[in-house]
């Protein structure tokens, strides 16, 4: 498949997704006006959301987006670490190697030049609002670090493979010729782009990223940058790792585009909330500044019933009939119902954006059993939010980051990989409210088990042998969030325990021998 065929396929996909862009424009106008340039164009200095009457729908969306950021990637905490799917295969050397590489990866992504924090923050709000985000991970042009970007969904189109995973990407890009020269160098560009008087002129570029076998290329993946204005290939490059991460929240079987369940529920309530607020504002204005009727000899205007409006009418005036200027009376009995309806709609918006489910369960003097039940309820409530996000967004970005760093030698020689990790693929695990609740549940269960075994020991001192205390205590310690370095190597612990038992047995035998001598004497 030639690059022109790939370009035409991308053009067709962009044409087909125009209805999706229209939906996103409507959603953005109601909840994310800063991003409402899917089908409209923002101008510099434009005031966003001037057509809105209340900011609460925007605040609800903002709170969910910020919560996804602070709870998934808490500032100042080690929110991710490597591990194996089969944790029983993790010996101490494997755990230490994975923790060391996790620390290296953390330092690289939080380098100020990587723009990781900015890109992920933007992606969180795209995820909360539109149910998907488009993130790119690449080496910077100096090849001494990584560079992250979150792209506008308006400029992205994609397609799925047979397994339902997105594996083909098209992106529209409109940089200046000066930016193209910085990114690719002058030699790669069309001669018109290198003219001195065209440096600030924008050029339409399309980036295409597809699997190699899709375009009959032996490489794992192929990246094309096409100058659409001059029909010129700026760059064609094979790649052994990915480039885009496209996390999706909720998908349907007949579309490659996802949606946000929060916004789908909130959209009708958001429109209703704006209408109710508008009516209440108008009613309140009319109550405070009622329209007036002025009686004169000649008809001057039509009826103006807006707040502060003045209507001049003609009449044969007799002061016994009334005042010259009379306020128009309005019925205010419906204001209470309107305020009540407004509060109910606001509560529904909070529910739609999961704002009532994000707090950890709290309670006074809870037993271990009660705490366990509440954590189970909490996990069920937040599972639809954080489970897909951990796997799709943080998981996808961290795995691609690891792949790039590993292939470029950031983790040292492959000879240093412990034997237990040979042939294994480390996975990333995250410290989120979901994982924290699960880990704390394990710690609470350990405390409950200890209480049960203490009671059982009073009946049968040998009952404690039913529990693998070493395994249970180690899992409970890690469940508190402690570092793996706090735990001694399991083999060393077992050897130390065996030595202690042997010493204890020898002491007991010596004591028995001494007692026997005393009896003989």
Average pLDDT rounded to a whole number, residues 259-282: 92
Residues 125 and 205 in one domain: yes
Average pLDDT rounded to a whole number, residues 465-493: 64
The pLDDT value recorded for residue 154 is: 96
Tell me how far CA of residue 174 lies from CA of 7, 155, 180, 204, 226, in angstroms: 16, 10, 10, 5, 11
CA-based nearest residue to 246, from 100, 45, 397, 359: 397
- Evaluate if residue 308 carries a pLDDT over 60: no
* Lowest-confidence segment of 54-63, 159-168, 237-246, 309-318 by average pLDDT: 309-318
Residues 200 and 248 in one domain: yes
Residues 206 and 315 in one domain: no
The pLDDT value recorded for residue 511 is: 78
- Evaluate if residue 321 carries a pLDDT over 60: no
- Give the model confidence (pLDDT) of 180-222 as tens digits: 999 999 999 999 999 988 899 999 999 999 999 998 888 899 9
Average pLDDT rounded to a whole number, residues 2-13: 93
The SS3 of residue 269 is helix
Residues 215 and 317 in one domain: no
| 225 touches 201 (CB < 8 A) | no
Of 308, 329, 350, at which residue does a domain stop? Answer: 329
Residues 244 and 313 in one domain: no
Could you give the number of structural domains in the chain?
2
- Give the model confidence (pLDDT) of 76-135 as tens digits: 788 898 888 777 777 888 888 999 999 999 999 999 999 999 999 999 999 999 999 999
Band (299; pLDDT cuts 50, 70, 90):
very low
| 299 touches 379 (CB < 8 A) | no
The pLDDT value recorded for residue 314 is: 55
The pLDDT value recorded for residue 1 is: 62
The pLDDT value recorded for residue 438 is: 60
Residues 42 and 176 in one domain: yes
Sign of CA dihedral 455, 456, 461, 462: negative
Tell me how far CA of residue 33 lies from CA of 59, 61, 136, 342, 486, in angstroms: 12, 11, 24, 22, 48
Of 329, 344, 378, at which residue does a domain stop? Answer: 329
- Evaluate if residue 487 carries a pLDDT over 90: no
Write out the two tokens for 475: 């899992």
Residue 414 belongs to a domain: no
Residue 85 belongs to a domain: no
Angle between helices 116-130 and 261-288 (to 10 degrees): 80
Pure H helices in 92-146: 92-109, 116-130
The pLDDT value recorded for residue 500 is: 73
The SS3 of residue 231 is coil
Residue 122 belongs to a domain: yes
The pLDDT value recorded for residue 464 is: 62
| 402 touches 426 (CB < 8 A) | yes
- Give the model confidence (pLDDT) of 434-446 as tens digits: 666 565 656 666 6
The pLDDT value recorded for residue 39 is: 94
| 149 touches 112 (CB < 8 A) | no
What is the spatial order of strands in the sheet that 244-245 belongs to? 146-151, 134-139, 244-245
Residue 153 belongs to a domain: yes
| 173 touches 280 (CB < 8 A) | no
Average pLDDT rounded to a whole number, residues 232-240: 94
Q: How far apart are the first and last CA of the chain?
A: 101
- Give the model confidence (pLDDT) of 155-168 as tens digits: 999 999 999 999 99
- Evaluate if residue 320 carries a pLDDT over 70: no
Taking the C-alpha atoms of residue 31 and residue 376, their distance in angstroms, rounded to an integer, is: 32
Residues 119 and 23 in one domain: yes
What is the spatial order of strands in the sheet that 166-173 belongs to? 156-160, 166-173, 205-211, 221-227, 232-239
Q: Which CB contacts under 8 angstroms, 24+ apart, belong to 187-192?
A: 188/234, 188/235, 189/227, 189/232, 189/234, 190/227, 190/230, 190/232, 192/230
Segments forming the whole domain that contains residue 165: 3-55+105-263
| 222 touches 237 (CB < 8 A) | yes
Residues 179 and 320 in one domain: no
Residues 179 and 237 in one domain: yes
**Stronger pLDDT, 56 or 304, i.e. the higher one:** 56
Q: Are strands 244-245 and 221-227 parallel, antiparallel or unpaired?
A: unpaired
Taking the C-alpha atoms of residue 303 and residue 313, their distance in angstroms, rounded to an integer, is: 9
Band (325; pLDDT cuts 50, 70, 90):
low
The SS3 of residue 254 is coil
Average pLDDT rounded to a whole number, residues 302-313: 59
Average pLDDT rounded to a whole number, residues 29-46: 92
Taking the C-alpha atoms of residue 31 and residue 42, their distance in angstroms, rounded to an integer, is: 16
Q: What percent of the chain has pLDDT over 90?
A: 46
Write out the two tokens for 18: 């125009």
Residues 161 and 42 in one domain: yes
Write out the two tokens for 185: 């160098």
Residue 408 belongs to a domain: no
Average pLDDT rounded to a whole number, residues 41-58: 90
Residue 250 belongs to a domain: yes
Q: What is the 3-state secondary structure (H, E, C) of 38-76?
A: CCCCCCCCCCCCCCCCCCHHHHHHHHHHHHHHHHHCCCC
Band (279; pLDDT cuts 50, 70, 90):
confident
Residues 181 and 240 in one domain: yes
The pLDDT value recorded for residue 190 is: 94
Write out the two tokens for 364: 């006074």
Q: Are strands 244-245 and 134-139 parallel, antiparallel or unpaired?
A: antiparallel
Taking the C-alpha atoms of residue 331 and residue 308, their distance in angstroms, rounded to an integer, is: 16
Band (361; pLDDT cuts 50, 70, 90):
low
Band (429; pLDDT cuts 50, 70, 90):
confident
| 209 touches 221 (CB < 8 A) | yes
Instruction: Specify the residue for token string 């409209």.
Output: 40
- Give the model confidence (pLDDT) of 489-509 as tens digits: 666 667 776 777 777 777 777
The SS3 of residue 304 is coil
- Evaluate if residue 338 carries a pLDDT over 60: yes
Residues 247 and 141 in one domain: yes
Displacement of CA 469 from its chain's centroid (Å): 38
**Stronger pLDDT, 29 or 489, i.e. the higher one:** 29
The C-alpha angle with vertex 66 and arms to 245 and 280, in degrees rounded to 5, equals 125
Residue 136 belongs to a domain: yes
Residue 78 belongs to a domain: no
């Amino acid at each position: 498949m030639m690059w022109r065929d790939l370009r035409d396929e991308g053009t067709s996909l962009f044409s087909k997704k125009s209805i999706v862009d229209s939906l996103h424009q409507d959603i953005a106008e109601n909840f994310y006006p800063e991003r409402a340039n899917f089908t409209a164009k923002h101008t510099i200095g434009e005031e966003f959301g001037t057509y809105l009457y209340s900011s609460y729908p925007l605040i609800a969306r903002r709170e969910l987006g910020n919560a996804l950021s602070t709870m998934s990637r808490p500032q100042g905490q080690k929110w991710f670490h490597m591990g194996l799917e089969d944790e029983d295969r993790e010996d101490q050397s494997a755990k230490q190697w994975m923790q060391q590489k996790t620390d290296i990866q953390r330092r690289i992504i939080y380098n100020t030049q990587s723009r990781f924090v900015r890109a992920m923050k933007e992606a969180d709000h795209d995820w909360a609002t539109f149910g998907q985000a488009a993130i790119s991970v690449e080496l910077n042009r100096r090849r001494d670090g990584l560079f992250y970007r979150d792209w506008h969904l308006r400029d992205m189109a994609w397609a799925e493979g047979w397994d339902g995973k997105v594996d083909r990407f098209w992106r529209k890009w409109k940089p200046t010729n000066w930016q193209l020269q910085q990114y690719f160098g002058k030699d790669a560009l069309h001669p018109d782009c290198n003219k001195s008087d065209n440096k600030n002129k924008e050029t339409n570029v399309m980036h295409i990223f597809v699997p190699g076998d899709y375009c009959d290329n032996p490489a794992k993946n192929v990246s094309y940058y096409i100058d659409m204005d001059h029909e010129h290939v700026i760059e064609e490059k094979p790649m052994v790792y990915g480039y885009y991460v496209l996390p999706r929240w909720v998908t349907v079987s007949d579309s490659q585009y996802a949606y946000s369940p929060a916004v789908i529920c909130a959209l009708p309530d958001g429109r209703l909330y704006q209408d109710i607020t508008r009516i209440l504002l108008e009613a309140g204005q009319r109550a405070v500044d009622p329209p007036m009727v002025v009686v004169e000899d000649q008809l001057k205007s039509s009826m103006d019933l807006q707040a502060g409006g003045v209507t001049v009418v003609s009449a044969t005036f007799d002061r016994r009939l009334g005042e010259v200027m009379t306020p128009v009376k309005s019925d205010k009995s419906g204001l209470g119902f309107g305020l009540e309806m407004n509060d109910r709609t606001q509560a529904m918006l909070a529910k739609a954006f999961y704002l009532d489910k994000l707090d950890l369960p709290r309670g006074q003097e809870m037993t271990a059993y009660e705490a366990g039940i509440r954590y189970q309820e909490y996990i069920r409530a937040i599972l639809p939010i954080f489970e897909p996000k951990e796997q799709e967004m943080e998981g996808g970005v961290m795995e691609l980051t690891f792949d790039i760093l590993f292939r470029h030698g950031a983790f040292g020689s492959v000879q240093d990989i412990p034997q237990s990790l040979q042939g294994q693929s480390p996975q990333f695990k995250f410290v989120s409210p979901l994982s924290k609740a699960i880990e704390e549940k394990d710690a609470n269960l350990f405390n409950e088990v200890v209480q049960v075994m203490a009671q059982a020991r009073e009946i049968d001192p040998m009952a404690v042998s039913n529990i693998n205390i070493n395994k249970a205590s180690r899992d409970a310690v890690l469940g508190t969030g402690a570092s793996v370095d706090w735990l001694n190597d399991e083999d060393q612990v077992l050897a130390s325990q065996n030595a202690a038992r042997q010493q204890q047995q020898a002491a007991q035998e010596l004591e028995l021998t001494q007692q026997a001598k005393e009896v003989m004497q």
